[in-house]
């Protein structure tokens, strides 16, 4: 992180900023590895300050030895006073992470000029360190284990009025058993025709027999997310399901084979999309092929046909093509991969 702090400070200089105020949970965690519901980080050319209230102050002071930890009193008023006491001229802030109300209150009576930025740390967070990759790898292993355990449980309980929400409840229990701290997003359990809705909201409806079952889930571990999707068929798969499953699998493999640091990101999406379009299902693939993942479940880059950017080494992202047929159901297959200098590293171990 020290190396990245130097790089961030270079960006401050380039932008003509004396300091930057970070207020979003994910960027504060990225810089400090400390979890707090009420904290700010102020980075200057010489110092890095961690400001938090009395609930977190002692713990932060013990753990964040490379920070100047400040107990924040009087909320926003105290924050503004601290900023004014720094005697700086230009202060950057995360305009995409705050409310209009917060900004209007922040600018009142503050000495430095304020400059808002969107995604100020994105360029640093896209390429993961080996430490970050190892944590994500552990999160991936844990969600793989959850899947291995929940499938036999579904088979055992399918005749007991099993509902989508009861499957999600079991998945949450298994996440904690595996050492996860929470879901990384609300688990999607989509049975039958519900699987044709990519972000179906898990319901109290029964798991259908002789129908697709899509499970999209992830867990958080040491502050980082995993993301995983598999689509099953409860009963004997019909020919339609076999057809679209094999097409999605082929698309997934084609996209994965394109992954390598230095390739245009759009080529990964195109590889998957081309397979699905040539099979006659192009209109039923309605989202991008993947997304970056890390502290947040959705990070840069978006793996999409319009993304002209070059894939950076050590970018961690999902590959998740799908086909969704209204009234019938859908198939999505998702793995997490790492772009390496010489090709792809697939973190997800569950077979397609």
Report pLDDT for 4. Answer: 86
End-to-end CA distance of the chain: 35
Which tens digit of pLDDT belongs to each residue from 96-124? 999 999 999 999 999 999 999 999 999 99
pLDDT higher than threshold 70 for residue 252:
yes
Residue 183, C-beta contacts closer than 8 angstroms, at least 6 positions apart: 171, 172, 175, 217, 218, 219, 220
Report pLDDT for 1. Answer: 66
CATH, range 2-125: 3.40.350.10
Phi, psi (5° rounding) for residue 261? -55, 130
- When pLDDT is averaged across residues 85-96 and rounded to a whole number, the result is 96
pLDDT higher than threshold 70 for residue 159:
yes
Which tens digit of pLDDT belongs to each residue from 253-303? 999 999 999 999 999 999 999 999 999 999 999 999 999 999 999 999 999
Which tens digit of pLDDT belongs to each residue from 1-54? 667 899 999 999 999 999 999 999 999 999 999 999 999 999 999 999 999 999
Selected from 1.20.1630.10, 3.30.420.40, 3.90.230.10, 2.130.10.10, the CATH number assigned to the domain covering 130-346 reads 3.90.230.10
Mean pLDDT, the chain, as a whole number?
A: 96
Reduce the secondary structure of the chain to three states and give it as a string: CHHHHHHHHHHHHHCCCCEEEECCHHHHHHHHCCCCCCEEEEEECCCEEEEECHHHHHHHHHHCCCCEEEECCCHHHHHHHHHHHCCCCEEEEECCCCCHHHHHHHHCCCCCEEEEECCCCHHHHCECCHHHHHHHHHHHHHHHHHHHHHHHHHHHHCCCCCEHHHHHHHHHHHHHHCCCCEECCCCEEEEHHHHHCCCCCCCCCECCCCEEEEEEECEEECCEECCEEEEEEECCCCHHHHHHHHHHHHHHHHHHHCCCCCCEHHHHHHHHHHHHHHCCCHHHCCCCCEEECCCCCCEEEEECCCCCCECCCCEEEEECCEEEECCCEEEECEEEEEEECCEEEECCCCCC
Which tens digit of pLDDT belongs to each residue from 332-344? 999 999 999 999 9
In percent, how much of the chain has pLDDT > 90?
98
Report pLDDT for 166. Answer: 98
Report pLDDT for 245. Answer: 98
pLDDT higher than threshold 70 for residue 158:
yes
In percent, how much of the chain has pLDDT > 70?
99
Question: What is the pTM for the complete model shown?
Answer: 0.94
Report pLDDT for 3. Answer: 75
| Boundaries of every domain in the chain | 2-125, 130-346
Which tens digit of pLDDT belongs to each residue from 179-220? 999 999 999 999 999 999 999 999 999 999 999 999 999 999
Same fold, 2-125 and 130-346: no
- Cβ burial of 60 (10 Å; 0-12, 13-18, 19+) is buried
């Amino acid at each position: 992180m020290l190396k990245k702090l130097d790089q961030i400070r270079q960006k401050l200089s380039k932008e003509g900023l004396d300091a930057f105020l970070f207020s979003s949970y994910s960027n504060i965690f990225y810089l400090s590895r400390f979890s707090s519901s009420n904290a700010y980080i102020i980075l200057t050319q010489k110092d890095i300050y961690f400001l938090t209230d009395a609930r977190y102050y002692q713990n932060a002071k013990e753990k964040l030895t490379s920070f100047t930890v400040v107990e924040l009193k009087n909320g926003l008023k105290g924050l503004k006073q601290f900023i004014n006491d720094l005697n700086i001229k230009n202060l950057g802030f995360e305009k995409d992470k705050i409310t209009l109300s917060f900004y209007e209150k922040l600018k009142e009576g503050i000495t430095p000029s304020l400059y808002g930025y969107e995604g100020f740390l994105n360029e640093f967070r896209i390429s993961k360190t080996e430490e970050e990759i190892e944590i994500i790898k552990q999160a991936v292993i844990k969600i793989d284990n959850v899947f291995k355990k929940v499938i036999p449980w579904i088979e055992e309980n399918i005749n007991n009025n099993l509902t989508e929400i009861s499957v999600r409840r079991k998945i949450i229990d298994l996440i904690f058993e595996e050492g996860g701290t929470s879901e990384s997003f609300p688990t999607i359990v989509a049975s039958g025709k519900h699987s044709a809705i990519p972000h179906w909201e898990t319901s109290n409806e029964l798991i259908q027999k002789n129908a697709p079952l899509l499970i999209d889930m992830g867990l958080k571990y040491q502050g980082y997310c995993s993301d995983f999707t598999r689509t099953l068929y409860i009963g004997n798969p019909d020919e339609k399901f076999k057809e679209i499953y094999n097409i999605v699998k082929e698309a997934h493999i084609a996209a994965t084979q394109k992954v390598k640091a230095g390739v245009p990101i759009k080529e990964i999406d195109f590889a998957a999309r081309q397979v699905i379009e040539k099979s006659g299902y192009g209109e039923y693939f309605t989202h991008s092929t993947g997304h970056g993942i890390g502290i947040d479940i959705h990070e840069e880059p978006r793996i999409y046909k319009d993304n002209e950017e070059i894939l950076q080494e050590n970018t961690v992202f999902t590959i998740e093509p799908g086909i969704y047929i209204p009234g019938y159901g859908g198939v999505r297959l998702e793995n997490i991969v790492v772009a390496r200098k010489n090709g792809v590293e697939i973190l997800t171990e569950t077979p397609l």
